[in-house]
Structure 1
Amino acid sequence: MAKIIVAAPPITGELAPLLQLARGLAERGHRITVLTGSRFRERVEGAGLAFKAVTGVADFDDRLVSEDPERLKLAPGPDQLNYDWTTFFAAPVPDLHAALQELLAEDPDQYLISNAVWLGAFPTALGAPGLRPRRWVAVTAVPLPLSSDDTTFFGPVPVGPGEDQAAANRAGNEQFAQMMAPTQARLVEILNSLGATQEFPPFVDATVRLPDATAALTVPGFEFERSDAPDSLHLVGILPTRSAPDWEPPSWWPELDGSRPVVVVTQGTIANADLSQLVEPTLTGLADQDVTVVAALGREPDALSVPVPENARVAEFIPFDVLLPKADLFITNGGMGGTQQAIAAGVPAIVAGLTEDKPANAARVAYHGLGINMQTATPTPEAVAAAVQLALKDADIRENVQKLVPVYAAHDALGEIERLTVGEPSA
């Protein structure tokens, strides 16, 4: 048994995989303390895990981020991205550092597993006074931002015949670093104020390079290849979908019998406030197609503002571990978890998303031929229908996806992260 602190920002999408990981490690006998925002206390303790709340500006409510008046003044793009990073990831560093120090002062014999964008371990890693965990492993559930001569965040830069690919990628990465210069400057200021003595590398690289090890919840063949990645980076696969033992199939479940293609559409469990972005265009666009559409809404069905076509079925929740094996195509706004779960189940993806990490996931799907990048968050019904027809007929897409199924199956993400943290997995 090891004593492990599991830390994540109080952001639902960032905390969810770490909390799933924490449960799995606890089931293997480790003593877990989850360090995150106070609003998640009930959820953490309900899972049987010890809880410690962060304080100060680190303890924000992610449900209110979209209503932040200062943020609303900024158009999506560099200004908003820098605002998000400086406000929700950089500014909390002193409070995160203090909370980690309190836990380590109570018991120095603890390991740390953090979300990669939880920056509370940065100060001591860079020479600031304080205690360090026995070992620090960062886990990232979003596409790797790590700069490389081989690629950028969105893939290799397109080049013409005879042009230097590595030079083009370096220029692309430098352009991104310049775009994020306000965040870099703010982080340097905060880290210096806490007593950091070592030079701070570009922060997107630091999230991967500073920890003792970084576990990326992905596999080769979905992530872009980086021949110059540090040895501390490990692609460990994805966490298994947790079953829902109390879920009962709806009355229409036997209709998913393979007699015609099943197209699943979802906007996830967070970005589903406006179903007109993707779910409704899919229902409308495929209404006259010879497919069965299953819309997993993540919210109540009466939120739909369009009639449900005869060939469609809707539900608030359907466990992916039982739905995806019946699917032929997965239409998503591009969250990394759902997209990879589909591909791991052998289901090609159509991705339509332009916020957070969604465009980067869509870029990976397109680059590796695993589906279609619609390059918009609000496709028309006609565009959805055309993409579905193309994806269902494209044998290369299906072959590429099928090649990745055994790659995902070969990984035990929980066991690999346990090994990276404390040594060989427990029996």
Structure 2
Amino acid sequence: MASTIAALLTALCVPLVVHAARTRHEPATAANQHFAVTWAASADRLKAGPAERSYRLVVRTSVGGNALRIRLTNAFGDHPVTFASAYAGLQRQGAELIRGSNRRLTFGGQSSVTVPAGETILSDPLPGDVAAQSNLVVSLHVTGVQGPMTGHTLAMQTSYATAGDHAAEEAAVNWTDAMSFWYWLDAVSVQTSTAISSVVTLGDSITDGWDSTTDLNRRWPDYLSRRLQAATDSTVKGVANEGISGNKVLADGGGEAALHRFDRDVLAHPGVDTVFVHEGINDIKAHTGVTVDDLTAGYRQLVDRAHAAGKCVVGATLMAYKGWPEYDAVGEAVRQDVNDWIRHGGVFDAVVDFDKITRNPYDPQALLPLFDGGDHLHPNDNGMQAMANAVDLAALRCGG
């Protein structure tokens, strides 16, 4: 642990090298290096907030590398947003950073940047190494906010906010407002070997981590990330969690539908070779008349778009939800038929049977009590770990 922290301190204390005009283009890299996404969170439209405020956002890296860069999004804003300053450091505890780790980020060589409504922007690469499985802290001072903000509501991670500009500070004293949202930051990538790739987990609140323990990184993609880091024979090391609570495959509601956000939340990330799709239960339980044919057609579209971009797709069966208020026999019949199609339809490059490993063998329409977070839909920490353990790591390479 001490050696890891020392390495991270050394990395983030390297003097910043400015690379102009690289916010909208891939930076030049060595022939055997490329960028790979190490963390992500799906963005959505949020209510308006204060015009001037600082945000200290705590995120967890998956794959390690160098030349860290962040992606800031104003995808759902109606007005430009100015990021007057941005820093990246390492968490010591709470809002406090490890001394000497907080380094300024730039955008096209400038310390501030204005992002127009509907757009995203990349920072310049920050020289130095960043370790896998580290608590990265991105601090933003934001000005000129008008109207809706862009962010992610179900962070399952405590971040912090404060009035004024305190982004450069490493102490926690001014960061008095704890919060459970991530604002504007929707991706972090690092430069790593071209032999290394990332997987995007596309899903709903189950993938987002609802009912897992806050601040302990116990979402099923987190458990999967730890398995991938420990697997010496796996070239898939990065995990980008693109779950969003209430999300559907077909219709907007809890965020944009998977079909509508696929380009931004999957295809736009660097270094991604594999997409892991686990959603559809919200389409079914919404009682909007979605049929098996409707949902499987949506899956086919996702797979076709991924294949066209040169990526493989793993599909996962939909888990039991008997006991949830919207459960009924009609929806259960659709779920069973959809799962049969996922298992045997031959559309996905690989299949993981989440339903089989999480259901109650004595009541197959319900979650196993050991895995039930209490609402009969969302798994607890035990269930999240069981889901991750059910993934054949070789399947993430889709035979490649």
Task: Name the TM-score, length of structure 1 as normaliser.
Answer: 0.26
Larger radius of gyration: 1
- Greater fraction helix: 1
Greater RCO (Cα-Cα under 8 Å, separation 6 or more): 2
- Greater fraction strand: 2
Task: Name the TM-score, length of structure 2 as normaliser.
Answer: 0.27
